[in-house]
């Protein structure tokens, strides 16, 4: 199976070197979608269509600064639709990350404690 060409996605922020990210979480969300596709969780065309629908729904007033928020929301939608994780699981994981972020000293990497 050939890897998808993420550069064919609509409105992907990029420069001559490829995708660009303003924050580390954006690169992580990007990589997670690629990895889930590589593992067969969804077809790339399915991903591109879902992302396109979300971007279109954002309307013409969307200036592109929220692109990766749309990316992440699309990823969450597909993860739930494919029953890879439920809404409760995603919510609990978000809360755990928020708590870890709040309790991490400035300049230190945020670490999510693994549940036993």
Per-residue pLDDT tens digits for 22-48: 888 888 899 999 999 999 999 999 999
Q: Has this prediction a pTM greater than 0.75? A: no
Is residue 42 within 8 A of residue 82, CB to CB? The reply is yes
Give CA separation, 46 vs 36, 63, 67, in Å. 12, 24, 18
pLDDT at position 10, please?
Answer: 59
Q: What is the pLDDT of residues 58-111, one digit of tens each?
A: 888 888 888 899 999 999 999 989 888 877 887 777 787 778 878 888 888 878
């Amino acid at each position: 199976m050939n890897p998808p060409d993420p550069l064919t996605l609509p409105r992907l922020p990029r420069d001559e070197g490829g995708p660009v990210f303003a924050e580390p979480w954006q690169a992580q969300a990007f990589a997670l979608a690629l990895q889930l596709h590589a593992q067969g969780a969804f077809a790339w065309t399915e991903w591109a269509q879902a992302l396109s629908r979300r971007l279109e729904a954002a309307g013409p007033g969307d200036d592109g600064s929220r692109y990766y928020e749309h990316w992440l929301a699309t990823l969450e939608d597909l993860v739930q639709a494919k029953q890879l994780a439920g809404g409760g699981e995603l919510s609990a994981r978000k809360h755990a990350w928020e708590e870890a972020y709040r309790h991490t000293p400035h300049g230190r990497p945020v670490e999510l404690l693994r549940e036993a």
